[in-house]
Amino acid sequence: MEKLLLFIKQNLKFLWAVIDSINNAIYGLLFDKTMKRSLNAISNNVDISPYTFKELKASDTNDLYELIKNQKESDLNYFQPHGFDHDSIRGKLKQKAFLMMGIYFEQQLIGYFFLRFFVNKKCFVGRLIDADYRGKGVGLLMNKIMYGIAWNMKFRCLSTISKSNHFIMKAHKKNTTMVVLKELNNNFLLVEFINPDLSNN
C-alpha cells in the first residue's frame, strides 16, 4: 500500500492531490481533536530544555522559509516533503493532516519537523535541523516528540529514508525503535518506529 501511495505521490501529481485533499478532509473530521490532545500531552510531558518547541502557524511562514533557505542545497536532496516557497509553506500549514512543528533555541527557529497523517492510522515523519545545530542531539529530541504524538494517537509511525543520506543513516544508527519494513526504489527504505512499551505484548 505504501509503495503504491509513494508511486502516486512521485509520478501522478494530480491523483496525489485528490487523495491528499480527501485524506485531509476525513482526517480533520476523525482525528483532529485526538491530535490536538496528544500534542498537548507531549508538550506537557516532554522536557527538551534548553530548547522549546511548538506547532507552526501561518505567522511562522517566513521563519520556516528562512530556515530552509539558509541550508545548503545538497542538504535538501533527501528532504522534499513540500515546496519551500512562501505559498507552498502557507498552504501546507493549513492542512489538518500535516502537523508542522518548530524547535527553538533562545527564540530562534533551529529545526523543523512534521508528521503527515493518513486516515488508515499511519503517519510519516521527517525533519531538518539547521546546520549549526546538528550533532547536538536535537534530532533525538524531535524523535521523542514525533514518536510520542504518533504513539499517543495509536498511529503507526513510519518514514522513508535514503540509504544514500549519510546524515539520517548516522542519526538513526543507534535508534533501537527503528525497524526496516521494506526496500523501496532508488535506494530508499521504508522504516517504522515501534513503541518499545508495546513491542513485547
Ligand X SMILES: CC(C)(COP(=O)(O)OP(=O)(O)OC[C@H]1O[C@@H](n2cnc3c(N)ncnc32)[C@H](O)[C@@H]1OP(=O)(O)O)[C@@H](O)C(=O)NCCC(=O)NCCS
Residues in a beta bridge with 189: 161, 183
Return the residue of 65, 84, 105, 167 that touches ligand X, per CB under 6 A: 167
Euclidean distance between CA atoms 90 and 170, whole angstroms? 31
CB-neighbour burial class of residue 197 (10 A; exposed 0-12, middle 13-18, buried 19+): exposed
Query: How many chain residues bind ligand X (CB under 6 A)?
Result: 20
170 binds ligand X (CB under 6 A): yes
Residue 161: CB atoms within 10 Å: 21
Return the residue of 24, 43, 165, 177 that touches ligand X, per CB under 6 A: 165
Candidates 10-18, 55-63, 125-133, 184-192; binding stretch for ligand X (CB under 6 A): 125-133
CB-neighbour burial class of residue 58 (10 A; exposed 0-12, middle 13-18, buried 19+): exposed
Residues 172-191 binding ligand X (CB under 6 A) are 173
* CB nearer to ligand X: pick between 40 and 196: 196
Residues 64-123 binding ligand X (CB under 6 A) are 75, 78-79
Q: If we measure between CA atoms, which residue out of 172, 105, 104 comes closest to residue 140?
A: 172
Interface contacts to ligand X, rule CB under 6 A = 75, 78-79, 126-129, 134-140, 165, 167-168, 170-171, 173
